[in-house]
Amino acid sequence: MKILGISGSPRKEEQSGVYQTVKAVLDATGLDYELISLRGKKIGGCIACLKCAEDNVCKVKDDMEELREKIVEADAYVIGAPNYYSGINALTRAFLERWFQFRHREGNLLWGKRAVAVGIGGTSGVPPAEEIEMYMMYNFIKPVARVTGQGAASCYSCGFGHECKVGIPYMLYGDEAKNKVLQELAPDVRKDRELMNSARRAGELLARDLAECSREEVTREMQKLLFEKMKESV
């Protein structure tokens, strides 16, 4: 079993709450894994050319090409993204949009696999995690756990966070932010015991689910869920 971890954060690994949380989940699985940061990669969104419809291979030439085989070969995924405007950031969205290449003509390369969605935000990580789960569902991949938490918003390091009255520090701490060293106020996911425990449990659950459930069984479950959801729109 091998798990592919993806950090969609544009921050350096050491500074990224997304990267650190994804790694914590992966470590807890006890399984072989590869963790890739999308930072610095050139990945555009789906351009709807439909050239992938014939063989389920995207024809757009960028850094997604080198990731395709890793996605296909993995048995499960731990995918994390930061909260940008109550959703996932553009880089992670582009990466996930390109998974459209896998689902034509009953292409089953990803069916029945498992995933953990990780969302980290300056206030909440729930919105990006929810979006990641939806992308997984469209490919009949089962989200077995969700890990969300609070990380350090950019306002803590932009240079003006101590005085900006529409920034996260002021929203959370009010005038107290002016009198504090912002780096001392900034959340650190590695010091968040509840979040790290959640990541550990998610990793353990992912490993257990992989051992106990077949891809065929999970595929049927996810197809039923998605088909019922689609019927709601009719």
Longest dimension (CA), the chain: 61
Q: What is the layout of strands, in order, in the sheet containing 114-121?
A: 32-37, 2-7, 76-82, 114-121, 142-150
Please give the C-alpha separations between residue 92 and each of 1, 23, 218, in angstroms, as whole numbers: 24, 17, 25
The pLDDT assigned to 160 comes to: 85
Cα–Cα distance measured from residue 195 to residue 18, given in angstroms and rounded to the nearest whole number: 12
Domains of the chain, with CATH numbers?
Answer: 2-152+187-231 (3.40.50.360), 153-186 (no CATH)
The pLDDT assigned to 170 comes to: 83
Closest residue by Cα to residue 121 from 91, 90, 149: 149
Q: Where are the beta strands (DSSP E) in 8-127?
A: 32-37, 76-82, 114-121
Token readout for 169 is 């520090």
Tell me the average confidence (pLDDT) per consecutive run of 10 residues in the chain, 234 residues long.
96 95 98 98 96 94 96 97 96 97 89 97 95 96 97 86 83 75 82 97 97 93 91 80
The pLDDT assigned to 180 comes to: 67
Q: What is the mean pLDDT of the chain?
A: 93
Q: 18-55, pLDDT tens digit by residue?
A: 999 999 999 999 999 999 999 999 999 999 999 999 99
User: 58: left (phi > 0), else alpha (psi -120 to 50), else beta?
Assistant: beta
